[in-house]
Amino acid sequence: GAYLQAIENANEALNAYIVTTPEKALEMAKASDARLAAGNGGALEGIPLGIKDLFGTEGVHTQAASHILDGFKPHYESTVTANLWADGAVMLGKLNMDEFAMGSSNESSYYGPVKNPWRAKGSNVDLVPGGSSGGSAAAVAARLCAGATATDTGGSIRQPAAFTGTVGIKPTYGRCSRWGIVAFASSLDQAGPIARDVRDAAILLRSMASVDAKDTTSVDIAVPDYEAVIGKPLAGIKIGIPKEYRVDGMPEEIEKLWQQGISWLKDAGATIVDISLPHTKYALPAYYIVAPAEASSNLARYDGVRYGLRVPGKDIVDMYENTRAKGFGEEVKRRIMIGTYVLSAGYYDAYYLQAQKVRTLIKKDFEDAFHAGVDAILTPATPSAAFGIADQEMNSDPVKMYLNDIFTVTVNMAGLPGIAVPAGLDSRGLPLGLQLIGRPFDEETLFQTAYVIE
């Protein structure tokens, strides 16, 4: 009830929720109360959550914040949300995001931008919450839900978490089922939580994760009790500091934050070692080939026949064209064009195949570091704090926007787990985050080390 009231008061200003589901929330809360009274409550009994609009929710608005999915209400429930409901969580509504999860500022949504609840000291400029899970991050930061689901293809959980002072974890590829989540780039997409603190993120991820026969890339490795590692000392843990993440033009404040994080981990008993991840600089360009290539293929299904919007034409091909021309936004069209170009005969070897080779090298860099005994890697989460909505510089050049992902995409390319944790404020009073990257399926070490930083 209190959350529904808070949403009513604040959502118009923030635009974090696209739709709310108050009746469903009350009905689920009632069922939850009954289970608790009967003494058979689940791990998340009665916890009110916001759900990113990318997750299929049965009978409820699921449009990936796109015009092309107008009116789409799936007849299925994604595995991740089904897992949450099975543990007793309550759905408050669907959260805003960049259209089809393509973006770093939540400005590509058909439903308009989300406002970051944070502002710089003494300023009245509205800031972006980051993207693509901007609605999830803003709703958690503004207390419009107790936690939220999000997805991360190239940073979309960790960058918005960093911009809003919240915690976001992208688990290992395969930890959560992708079934029932609108696909962007299938070899990179992973679901994870955005939460107020490390403990909440640990509790939520445990519930979201599962092996699933409906997603053959989900992996059958037991999901540990992540909460159990919180507060454990860091003795025996080795943290790698990759020199390649010290990029040109990185603000001094970010460098200082990084140093601060290093000393916190050292004080908690960790050993710090310098490492090298030599192929880091190729990650961003390779990502912006692989992700659009897969997106162009995944988005071919939106043709005006099967889902949502249909714009009539003189014949079926004309109808396809009209629907896609009207239904997709500018950024989505850009990705489809890049994707079809890099996959086309004659260019495939030069772009897509090359990018896949780079991807293997990036993965090997991390494997070498882990073989040398490193347990986790500490980096900044983003190269800057949140920027303004409709920022001239960011919006004049798509590549500038893509640079937001410079510290996060490597992790998706290698399929590794990564967590963003709030680590302090910049001189304008805006939150900054650090990132910890772990071994495959070792989310535990990330929760353990991130807890020391938050």
As annotated, the active-site residues are 52, 132, 156
Q: What DSSP character marks residue 350?
A: I
Place of tokens 């050292």: 266
SS3 content of the chain, % helix, strand, coil (to 5): 45, 15, 40
Residue from 47, 102, 336, 411 binding ligand GLN (CB under 6 A): 102
Residue positions counted in the chain: 454
Mark 76-86 as b/e (b = at least 16 C-beta within 10 Å). ebbbbbbbbbe
Q: Interface with ligand GLN by CB under 6 A: which range of 151-159, 358-366, 417-425, 435-443?
A: 151-159
48 or 417, CB closer to ligand GLN? 417
- CA dist 451 and 449 (Å) reads 5
Position of tokens 């086309």? 344
Interface of this chain with ligand GLN, residues 333 to 362, rule: CB under 6 A = none
Residue 104 interacting with ligand GLN (CB under 6 A): yes
Give, as ranges, the residues between 153 and 172 that touch ligand GLN (CB under 6 A).
153-156
298 touches ligand GLN (CB under 6 A): no
Residue tagged 């880091």 (tokens): 280
Question: Which H/E stretch holds residue 81?
Answer: helix 79-86
The span from the CA of 62 to the CA of 367, in Å, is 38
Rank residues 170 and 310 by Cβ distance to ligand GLN and give the closer one.
170
Q: In the complex with ligand GLN, which residue's Cβ is closer, 99 or 227? A: 99
The conformation of residue 313, written as its DSSP 8-state character, comes to: -
**Contact pattern from residue 167 through residue 206 relative to ligand GLN, giving x for each residue in contact according to CB under 6 A and a dash for the rest:** -----------------x----------------------
Nearest residue (CB) to ligand GLN, 89 versus 101: 101
Nearer to ligand GLN, 154 or 415 (CB): 154
149 sits near ligand GLN (criterion: CB under 6 A): no
Please state, in angstroms and as integers, the Cα–Cα distance from residue 104 to each residue in 267, 338, 427, following that order. Answer: 34, 18, 23
Under rule CB under 6 A, residue 444 binds ligand GLN:
no
Determine the interface stretch with ligand GLN among 13-21, 152-160, 222-230, 424-432 (rule: CB under 6 A).
152-160
Instruction: Give the rounded distance of the alpha carbon of 448 from its chain centre.
Output: 20
Instruction: Summarize as ranges the residues that interact with ligand GLN (CB under 6 A).
Output: 101-104, 132, 152-156, 184, 291, 405
